[in-house]
């Protein structure tokens, strides 16, 4: 009887060991593969875009390369539109989301989200001829935004609550901005970084910023599959190190500029 019990115990231990080996942490898989695949949106300057030579560039692209460097692997940027960020991760086309992804509770039902690695203030972007000079002036106007983004969700909710005006969803940030410039919609809400990059580009002479939008600061996270605890823990420490070493401030100055101060990544009375 004792031998039978021992045999059963050994079988259970061996089975557990095999299961653990079969379900190795994604962090180990990335290191052993020699490659980190980052889902990055390249239609969101200065966070992600294509430069004059059509190569990926921006804050998120550099962040992906920084992460790959400390892991000792090569970085591969997987171009991913905003609506496709989570599907790209879940389907296995990417290992990590580095695409300015807002840390909403709804998203956290599907993917694991880290502590914030960047934060945005929202502003109103409109044309010179709309008569819009503040957020209150957009009520009753034709509005639009990029499908799946934090600001799109917030703006559409407001438009519906006002009971007048209209809202249109667009597939990309450039489509949204072009719609404002060409008069298809009167205004949109974008991050302060997008507004600054848009005006600085000189492509849209008739656009202006019409004040802040009264939305909470948009904290964005890196994303990994929800059950990859080892990888998520590593990503949290990586973000911590980026700030502590001054690399976060360095990238902010490089891609956003020195006119805008970096928004604090901490939430008072929550994490410091």
The CA-atom distances, in angstroms, between 244 and each of 62, 70, 120, 185, 248 are 17, 15, 20, 42, 8
What φ, ψ does residue 122 adopt, rounded to 5°?
-95, 140
107 pLDDT higher than 60: yes
Burial class (CB in 10 A: 0-12, 13-18, 19+), 229: middle
Cα(15)–Cα(13) distance, rounded to whole angstroms?
Answer: 5
Q: What pLDDT is stored for residue 148 in this prediction?
A: 85
- Eight-state DSSP code of residue 147: T
| Spatial contact of 123 and 212, defined as CB atoms under 8 Å apart | yes
Q: What pLDDT is stored for residue 200 in this prediction?
A: 83
Q: What pLDDT is stored for residue 21 in this prediction?
A: 46
127 pLDDT higher than 50: yes
| Spatial contact of 88 and 39, defined as CB atoms under 8 Å apart | yes
| Spatial contact of 127 and 214, defined as CB atoms under 8 Å apart | no
pLDDT classification of 4: cutoffs 50, 70, 90? low
As a whole number, the mean pLDDT across the chain is 90
Q: Looking at the domain that runs over 122-212, which CATH code has it been given?
A: 3.40.190.10
190 pLDDT higher than 80: yes
> Residues 206-265: pLDDT tens digits?
999 999 999 988 899 999 999 999 999 999 999 999 999 999 999 999 998 887 778 889
Q: What pLDDT is stored for residue 132 in this prediction?
A: 97
Q: What pLDDT is stored for residue 257 in this prediction?
A: 82
DSSP per-residue string spanning 98-115: EEEEE--TTGGGTEEE-S
Helix (H) or strand (E) holding 177, with range, is helix 173-181
18 pLDDT higher than 50: no
Domain boundaries, the chain: 25-119+219-255, 122-212
Q: What pLDDT is stored for residue 206 in this prediction?
A: 94
If one counts every other C-beta atom within 10 angstroms of the C-beta of residue 171, the result is 15
Looking at the whole model, is its pTM more than 0.85? no
Q: Do domains 25-119+219-255 and 122-212 have the same CATH topology?
A: yes
CATH class of 25-119+219-255: alpha beta
């Amino acid at each position: 009887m004792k031998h039978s019990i021992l045999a059963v115990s050994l079988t259970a231990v061996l089975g557990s060991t095999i299961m653990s080996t079969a379900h190795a942490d994604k962090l180990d898989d990335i290191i052993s593969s020699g490659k980190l695949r980052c889902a990055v949106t390249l239609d969101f300057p200065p966070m992600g875009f294509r430069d004059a030579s059509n190569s990926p560039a921006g804050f998120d692209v550099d962040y992906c390369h920084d992460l790959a460097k400390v892991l000792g692997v090569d970085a591969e940027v997987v171009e991913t539109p905003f609506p496709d960020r989570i599907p790209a991760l879940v389907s296995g086309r990417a290992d990590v989301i580095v695409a300015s992804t807002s840390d909403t509770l709804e998203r956290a039902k599907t993917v694991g989200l880290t502590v914030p690695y960047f934060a945005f203030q929202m502003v109103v972007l409109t044309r010179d001829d709309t008569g819009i000079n503040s957020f209150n002036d957009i009520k009753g106007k034709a509005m639009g935004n990029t499908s799946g983004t934090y600001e799109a969700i917030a703006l559409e909710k407001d438009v519906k609550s006002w009971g007048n005006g209209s809202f249109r969803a667009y597939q990309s940030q450039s489509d949204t901005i072009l719609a404002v410039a060409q008069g298809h919609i009167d205004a949109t809400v974008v991050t302060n970084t997008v507004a600054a990059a848009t005006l600085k580009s000189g492509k849209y002479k008739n656009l202006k910023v019409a004040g802040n939008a009264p939305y909470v600061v948009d904290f964005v996270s890196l994303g990994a599959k929800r059950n990859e605890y080892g990888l998520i823990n590593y990503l949290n420490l990586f973000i911590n190190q980026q700030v502590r070493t001054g690399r976060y401030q360095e990238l902010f100055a490089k891609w956003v500029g020195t006119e805008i101060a970096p928004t604090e990544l901490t939430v008072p009375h929550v994490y410091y």
